[in-house]
C-alpha cells in the first residue's frame, strides 16, 4: 500500500466509525418524538427482518407523538409486535391503518442513564478510530520495511494519520456534547 492509499483507507474507515456513532445517537430517545427513534427497528415482514423505515412512513406531527403509516395495511400487526419487542419502551396504539406512539417525557434518572449510554457509545467510537489509526500506522511501517515508502514518507503519513484521528475524535466530542445537552433539556 502506498502513502495515499493508506491515508484514504484510514479516512474512510474513520468516517464509517463516525456514521455508526451518529446512528447510535439518533436512535436514543430524548423526550421529543423523532423518526430516528424507531426507523431502525426490525420487523418480521413476510419472514424476513426488515427495517421499519422500509415498510412504513414515519412522521412526528407533534413533539410527543410518532405516527407510523404502513405502506401495506396488512402489516400493521407485525409492526406493532416489532415495536413491542424492541427496547424503545413505547407502547403502540393502532386503529388498523395507523400506529400511534405517544413518547412519554423522560425522568431525570432516565436522562442520566441515557447520557451515560451516550458517553459509552462515544468511547466505543473513539476506540474504533484509534484502532484504525493503529492499523494505518502498521501499514506505514510495513510499507517502509518492504521498500514501498521512505522513512520520511512513513513519518509524514503517521503525522497525517494522527491529525485525522484528532479531527475525528473532536467530531465525536462535539456530537456527544450536543446529544448530552439535548438529553438534559426538560
Whole domain around residue 55: which residue ranges? 35-102
CB-CB contact of 35 with 136 (8 Å): no
The residue-averaged pLDDT of 41-52 equals: 88
* Residue 51 dihedral angles phi and psi, to the nearest 5°: -60, 140
Last residue of one domain, picked from the residues 48, 76, 102: 102
Domain count within the chain: 2
Distance CA 16, CA 13 (A): 5
Say whether both 71 and 47 belong to one domain: yes
Condensed to tens digits (0 to 9), the pLDDT of residues 84-133 reads 888 777 888 988 889 999 888 778 888 888 899 999 999 999 999 999 99
Say whether both 21 and 61 belong to one domain: no
Distance CA 186, CA 178 (A): 15
Give 92-97 contacts, CB < 8 A, sequence gap 24+. 92/68, 97/69, 97/73
Q: Indicate yes or no: pTM above 0.85.
A: no
Amino acid at each position: 500500500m502506498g502513502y495515499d492509499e493508506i491515508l484514504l483507507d484510514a479516512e474512510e474507515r474513520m468516517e464509517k466509525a463516525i456514521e455508526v456513532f451518529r446512528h447510535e445517537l439518533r436512535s436514543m430517545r430524548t423526550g421529543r418524538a423523532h423518526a430516528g427513534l424507531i426507523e431502525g427497528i426490525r420487523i418480521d415482514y413476510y419472514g424476513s427482518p426488515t427495517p421499519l423505515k422500509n415498510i412504513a412512513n414515519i412522521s412526528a406531527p407533534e413533539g410527543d407523538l410518532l405516527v407510523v403509516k404502513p405502506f401495506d395495511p396488512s402489516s400493521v400487526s407485525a409492526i406493532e409486535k416489532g415495536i413491542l419487542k424492541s427496547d424503545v419502551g413505547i407502547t403502540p396504539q393502532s386503529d388498523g391503518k395507523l400506529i400511534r406512539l405517544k413518547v412519554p417525557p423522560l425522568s431525570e434518572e432516565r436522562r442520566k442513564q441515557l447520557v451515560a449510554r451516550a458517553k459509552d457509545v462515544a468511547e466505543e467510537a473513539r476506540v474504533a478510530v484509534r484502532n484504525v489509526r493503529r492499523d494505518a500506522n502498521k501499514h506505514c511501517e510495513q510499507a517502509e520495511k518492504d521498500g514501498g515508502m521512505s522513512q520520511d514518507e512513513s513519518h509524514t503519513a503517521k503525522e497525517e494519520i494522527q491529525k485525522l484521528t484528532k479531527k475525528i475524535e473532536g467530531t465525536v466530542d462535539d456530537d456527544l456534547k450536543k446529544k448530552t445537552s439535548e438529553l438534559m433539556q426538560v
